[in-house]
Structure 1
Amino acid sequence: MPPAKKRARSYDPARTRGAVLAQFANVREAARGLTPEQLAGPTRLGDWTVRELVAHIGMALTAVHGALAAPAPPKATVTVAEWALGTAVRAAGIADRTREVAAAQPDLDAYLAGVEKDLRAALEEHPGTRLLDTTAGAVSVDDYLVTRTVELVVHTDDLNAAVPGLDVPSERQAVATATRLLADALATKAPGGSTEVRVPPYAVVQCVEGLRHTRGTPPNVVETDPMTWIRLATGRLTWADAVAGAQVSASGERADLGELLPLLS
């Protein structure tokens, strides 16, 4: 008999919305203080400038009300974990659109203010169960907002890395949600029960084919902190560098996740 399908993780819609809006407000406040020289500076995202990175963060939310403007699809076709695994194929198109938006928005603060206003209006008008036709598949508004926490937390970290001395905070709820989504994405990509991945205090998942443990300490264990996990899962940090820098502990012959990462890039 095949193993029972795991029940999808549920997320509190009100807390997710609050986390998305709070994290976006953190970015807005930080971007408001950036100088022209800082905005023109490089990032770790290929040839993107800081200006383009900030514009892209705005785009992460315009995607919500943009999708709401289109007719609702008949049914959901992807889970939030599956969304994470399908991002790489969309990277080129996203990069081109980011450059267009950055060039068309000389006043980034006004742009971000408009993004927030439009998002709030859209969320007040539509229920969280309303389906959206996104580039990754059909998902509900509530589930799509879960994916926005990944975009916001990851790119907040990119922004901090790009601007020396900048320390944009990441909301605890946003980090928790992003951590759980990416942990579930790993379990979706490599289903199984031989390896336990722990990201305290937010997530524990079992993955990788092999003998499933039923009690006691599992034979293969990976453990790290939330931001290290998010960087690993999104390609900001390599597995080899994380292990060498003692940012992750891995024990057992099936605890090497190097070939499974990154999940989102």
Structure 2
Amino acid sequence: MESVRAAFRDECERLGEVLRGVDGADLDRPTDCRPWTVRELLAHVRTGAGRLVDMLAAPAPPRAEVDAAAYYGAAKFTPSVDAARVDSGRREARELDGPALVADFDRAWRAALDAVDAAPPGRVVRTRHGDAMVLGEFLRTRVVEVGVHGLDLAAALARRPWLTPTAAEVVAGLLTGGRAVPPGLGWDRLTLIRKATGRAGLTDRERAVVDAAGFRWLSFGG
């Protein structure tokens, strides 16, 4: 839990530092998370980073039903769920101007971290999909959301990826199920994350190695 908490804090702090240097034109740039602009994707990330506040204010389910990997099951992200997610990001982006949106991201993740710190050990929460998860497992998904969408924001802003080492370790561990990456691939953690989340393509040779290793990529929807 402590390493996941540190990863969430580090990645949110780093993203906040970057965002304080963007202007209106930057926020209106398109992203590869179509049809979102930088502003709209940031609104989505802000909401995801702060989601734990309301979850921890709700009654705790009696027991956990899924882990972080199962949260990203393909069945969860149906066309209707994805459409609602896209519309929500676009709607929320219209509610605040650029500086206010950046400030609200900072407020949201800090409030979420305070709620996490106040929660008892082993606390179970219910996700927006209706699944019950141990708090630490759900926090892993928040590291994925901020870290992976940080790669999308970096690409849209023409910046070098700023993924922090702590977040990269958490995300890579979730993507591989804790297994070692086949040495024949020669990937570092950033390359693994980009390839496994569809941010970079696989060559035929890489796909064959991945298939032979039995890796199963997760499905991402937000």
Cα distance change of structure 1 residues 128 and 238 upon mapping to structure 2, 3 Å threshold: farther
Paired residues of 1:223 and 1:249 also in contact (CA < 8 A): no
Which consecutive unaligned segments of at least 5 residues does structure 1 have? 1-12, 188-195, 201-220
Counterpart selection for 1:239 from 191, 199, 202: 202
Paired residues of 2:52 and 2:112 also in contact (CA < 8 A): yes
Alignment RMSD: 2.7
Query: Displacement of 1:233 after TM fit?
Result: 2.4
Identity among equivalent pairs (%): 29
2: CA distance, partners of 1:261 / 1:121: 32
Helix, strand or coil at the partner of 2:94: helix
Which consecutive unaligned segments of at least 5 residues does structure 2 have? none
The normalised TM-score by structure 1 is 0.72
Q: Structure 1 residue 176 and structure 2 residue 133: aligned?
A: no
Q: 2:212 aligns to what?
A: 255
Cα distance change of structure 1 residues 36 and 144 upon mapping to structure 2, 3 Å threshold: same
Q: Which has the higher strand share?
A: 1
**C-alpha distance after superposition, 1:112-165 (max 9, x if no partner):** 22213311321232124111110341111111111111111111100111012x
Cα distance change of structure 1 residues 96 and 199 upon mapping to structure 2, 3 Å threshold: farther
1: CA distance, partners of 2:122 / 2:83: 30
1: CA distance, partners of 2:82 / 2:73: 12
Q: Structure 1 residue 83 and structure 2 residue 71: aligned?
A: yes
Query: Displacement of 1:231 after TM fit?
Result: 2.1
Choose between structure 1 and 2 for higher RCO, CA contacts under 8 A separated by at least 6 residues. 2
Counterpart selection for 2:154 from 136, 160, 166: 160
Q: Structure 1 residue 15 and structure 2 residue 3: aligned?
A: yes
Paired residues of 1:235 and 1:264 also in contact (CA < 8 A): no
Counterpart selection for 2:107 from 101, 114, 127: 114
Helix, strand or coil at the partner of 2:126: strand
2: CA distance, partners of 1:117 / 1:148: 13
Number of aligned residue pairs: give it: 215
* Counterparts of residues 207-246 of structure 1 (less than 5 Å): 224-240=187-203, 243=204
Query: Displacement of 1:227 after TM fit?
Result: 2.0
Q: Structure 1 residue 101 and structure 2 residue 89: aligned?
A: no
Letter aligned with residue 109 of structure 1: V
Higher Rg: 1
Cα distance change of structure 1 residues 41 and 181 upon mapping to structure 2, 3 Å threshold: same
1: CA distance, partners of 2:67 / 2:106: 30
Cα distance change of structure 1 residues 172 and 28 upon mapping to structure 2, 3 Å threshold: same
2: CA distance, partners of 1:238 / 1:257: 18
Q: 1:198 aligns to what?
A: 181
Paired residues of 1:199 and 1:229 also in contact (CA < 8 A): no
Helix, strand or coil at the partner of 2:72: helix
Letter aligned with residue 24 of structure 1: C
Helix, strand or coil at the partner of 1:175: helix
Paired residues of 1:131 and 1:139 also in contact (CA < 8 A): yes
